[in-house]
Amino acid sequence: MIVRTPSHYGDDTCSSYVSAGDFIFLSHHAGGHESDDIVHQMQASFDSLTSTLESAGATFDDIIQINLYLKNIKDFSAAKDVFYKYFKKDHFPARMTTTTDFVNEACLCMLDAIAYRSS
């Protein structure tokens, strides 16, 4: 069964997440754009992801892959360090990190993920 959940940011063309069986595909999550601090924006992005995971009946323990998108590669080390606040030691998901430009000029980072919630 496939379940699509409406966007958390007002874009009708993108679900907040899609559940397909035991898999949860989480769309892009960002936040904290009132600050140009990468740590602040990373924490806001993770907090947004937390809310979406909870609404899907999942937690960070269920994330099997996460993608980190950065505006500036120089922010990688500080952004990576934020992962320790949200994931248990030795329980990190597979991760891909890349740089990109964002539609919102104030955006420094964004996350998307895949979670697996076993029945």
Average pLDDT taken over every residue of the chain: 92
pTM value is 0.91
Q: Please state, in angstroms and rounded to a whole number, the distance separating the CA atoms of residues 99 and 86.
A: 22
pLDDT value, residue 9? 64
Q: What is the pLDDT of residues 31-82, one digit of tens each?
A: 999 999 999 999 999 999 999 999 999 999 999 999 999 999 999 999 999 9
pLDDT at 21 over 90: yes
CATH number attached to the domain at 2-116: 3.30.1330.40
pLDDT at 8 over 70: no
Length of the chain: 119
Domain-wise residue ranges, the chain: 2-116
